[in-house]
């Protein structure tokens, strides 16, 4: 086996009833491994999984408590032993045909990660706005060749992902963070179009808190890998604001104002903080080289 499908499952009893037999038949035909992480489900998800536990290609990991979407994926990826890993959702939205498509593509292109790009026609204006804001922030802070940053279907080289797992959060922001890590560390990342079906059952847990958490994780990641992208613009903003503030005062012959000095000193302090953060970043990144 050279590919492992990692699937987080939280209260997906109804979805797995219909999706799991088809998934296991497909995995047996393709000789793929399947790891399903039952992330502390409160319904009958564990009982459904136990019915299929005898399947040779299936590994089930049970969390006693809910660790979050990212926590479930991290457990599954750590347990993977194949060259490639692909993450898919347990709600039946992802097509198994796309698994083979992405697997063939990553072997053909020798990419380190391929993100499954979903159709852009979401009916939920709130979610479209949230995704737009997250992508916009990511593009400002990092080079961004990927448009569907938080797609749940990704295929990647297992060894690389396992090395950076401790930097990834346990929350829904995992999808964005692991992609940004690959991009920031100069691994080859590309996109491939996939198709999405309606959920078999249940509803999405993505909300405003998820978006805020994702923004915070992006800022944390950039602060770790390239802190001057945050501190340098803030520093320049304060210094330029101080100069502009003082121009009319200086033209009147009144020298430098207290407000100007405060802004410029703040700008210098932010620049110095950026230099310190840059040195700490180099020390931490040295652990992953």
Query: Coil, helix or strand for 10?
Result: coil
Residue 187 CB contacts under 8 Å (≥ 6 apart), including other chains: 112, 113, 160
Per-residue pLDDT tens digits for 75-104:
999 999 999 999 999 888 889 999 999 999
Kindly calculate the radius of gyration of the chain based on its CA atoms and give it in whole angstroms: 23
- Work out whether the CA dihedral 82, 87, 88, 94 comes out positive or negative: negative
Mean pLDDT of the chain: 85
Q: What is the pLDDT of residues 164-199, one digit of tens each?
A: 998 888 988 888 889 888 988 889 999 999 998 876
Residue 18 confidence (pLDDT): 85
Judged against a pLDDT cut of 60, whether residue 58 lies above it is answered with yes
Residue 210 banded pLDDT, cuts 50, 70, 90: low
- Total-model pTM: 0.79
Whether 157 contacts 84, CB under 8 Å: yes
Taking residues 43-67, what's their average pLDDT?
Answer: 89
Of the pLDDT bands very low, low, confident and very high (cuts 50, 70, 90), residue 34 is very high
Of 173 and 74, the one with more pLDDT: 74
State the pLDDT confidence band at 253, using cuts at 50, 70 and 90.
confident
Q: What angle do CA 16, 55, 38 make, to 5 degrees?
A: 40
The CA dihedral of 196, 106, 104, 199, to the nearest 10 degrees, is -20
Lowest-confidence segment of 103-107, 206-210, 248-252 by average pLDDT: 206-210
User: Which letter does DSSP use for residue 227 in this model?
Assistant: T
């Amino acid at each position: 086996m050279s590919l492992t499908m990692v699937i987080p499952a939280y209260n997906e009893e109804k979805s797995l009833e219909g999706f799991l037999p088809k998934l296991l038949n497909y995995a047996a035909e393709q000789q793929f491994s399947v790891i399903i992480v039952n992330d502390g489900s409160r319904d009958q998800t564990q009982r459904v999984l136990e019915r299929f536990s005898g399947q040779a290609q299936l590994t089930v990991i049970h969390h006693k408590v809910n660790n979050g979407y990212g926590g479930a994926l991290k457990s599954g990826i750590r347990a993977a032993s194949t060259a490639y890993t692909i993450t898919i959702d347990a709600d039946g939205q992802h097509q198994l045909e796309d698994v083979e498509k992405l697997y063939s593509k990553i072997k053909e292109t020798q990419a380190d990660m391929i993100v499954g790009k979903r159709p852009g026609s979401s009916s939920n204006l709130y979610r479209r706005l949230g995704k737009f804001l997250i992508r916009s922030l990511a593009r400002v802070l990092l080079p961004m060749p990927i448009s569907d940053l938080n797609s749940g279907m990704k295929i990647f080289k297992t060894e690389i992902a396992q090395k950076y797992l401790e930097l990834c959060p346990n929350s829904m922001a995992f999808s964005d963070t692991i992609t940004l890590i690959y991009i920031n560390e100069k691994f080859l990342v590309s996109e491939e179009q996939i198709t999405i079906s309606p959920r078999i059952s249940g509803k999405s847990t993505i909300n405003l808190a998820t978006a805020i958490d994702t923004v915070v994780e992006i800022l944390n990641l950039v602060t770790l890998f390239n802190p001057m992208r945050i501190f340098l613009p803030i520093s320049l903003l304060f210094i330029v604001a101080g100069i502009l503030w003082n121009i009319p005062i200086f033209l009147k012959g009144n020298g430098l104002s207290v407000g100007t000095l405060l802004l410029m000193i703040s700008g210098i302090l932010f620049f110095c903080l950026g230099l310190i953060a840059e040195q700490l970043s180099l020390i931490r990144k040295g652990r992953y080289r």
